[in-house]
Chain A
Amino acid sequence: MPDIYYTAKENFAGVIERLMGRYRVYAPVKEDRCHGFAPLRSAAEADLGFSNTRLSPKGLFHPQAERMFEYSLAKDDPQAGIVKEAQKDFSPRVVLGVRPCDAKAFDLDDANFNTETIKDPWWVRRRETTTMIGLACDSPCSTCFCTSMGSGPYDTAGLDVLLVDAGEGYAAEVLSEKGKNTLEVTSGWSPVTSAILPLTHKKKAAEQSIGIAFDPAAIAKKPMLELYNSPTWEEVQFACINCGACTFVCPTCWCFDIQDEVCGDKGERLRLWDSCMFPLFTLHGSGHNPRSQKTQRVRQRFMHKLKYYQDKYNSGPACVGCGRCVQACPVNIDIRQVGRQMVSQGCSCPA
């Protein structure tokens, strides 16, 4: 029996205010011509009437620039050269209004940052102390293809609560203990029993409005080297300018660089978003570069998302069909088209 509650929209500002009383709340906020996730300074700033944010909310768990450590370089300082942890704020947060595709993306990212043997302490702490309150999609975009990637407009993966816009109010499905505890901070919710039916219709309508892209399971079945050595990569890479916009907006792109920055006699070690699209990404100190050619870099990105990740973790592709890369690419490279080419690798239809 799903745990569902309802509150009228006129109560919702109050819900957000109560949340803000206990948590740092992040929600979609209007930014010039698009939306982005930002810390709320007032409940009125939250705008849940958005399709999706231009940048994924990955910056909430994996900041674009993160101070990892600090150190002194002062002469005669006995602590000079010794790297020390920087202060971090892990006080509890709520991400309100995250779309199901992005929530699932963070589950996919967990496989990278939180393994049996090695744990990224900052990612893991942030994930532990953040409650994910999602908002189901009723108007997917033409570039969305979440349903092909194992997600969906009403999917619950990675969420603690799923909100559904029920016209005059919001329905909230509680999905975890953490979600339950967070909602209890707010008020105005009444349990729902029979009002679920219209929501099932909305879910179906939303899912059916999304076109089928390609089947990643078909790519998982193909041998890695056959896909890697395919001559079609020449075609795929032709227009690419290695601008890196796809990696910037993608919720499952996590690659980063580590750089030291010094000012006077103090310094910091920083973690910074990086991109496999850039030639320096794999450049050795000797000057050798295994991916010196653009074709190799373009191939790496798609092979990683749609094949290597599937083979390595057995949990589907590192893509949630959010469509941001399709919107962002200045030369209209479309991952759905690349996926279709990979699926049909090695097939030959009679003419």
Chain B
Amino acid sequence: MTLLRNPATIVWLVLVLATSASTWLLSKDAFSPVVGTIGVFLIAAVKIRLVIMRFMEISHAPRPWRIYFEAWVVGATALILGFYLAS
């Protein structure tokens, strides 16, 4: 029961569900390539942010570090989607 109540377990469950949705749902032809791809990368960005803030505990880090890692998530996602939409 302790394990089930641990906040890390809730985070892990959300990450598993999000991964399953992007791998076995959004990648299907029911979604257009653009919608599917943008959806998959936005989900990836949310997952990465969860890992950084909740698993790495950057949410408790000094403010400059929080800004740095938040900026990386936004920057990397925007970079990939920017190139994708431009091609």
Note whether A and B form a binding pair.
no
A interface residue numbers (CB < 8 A to B): none
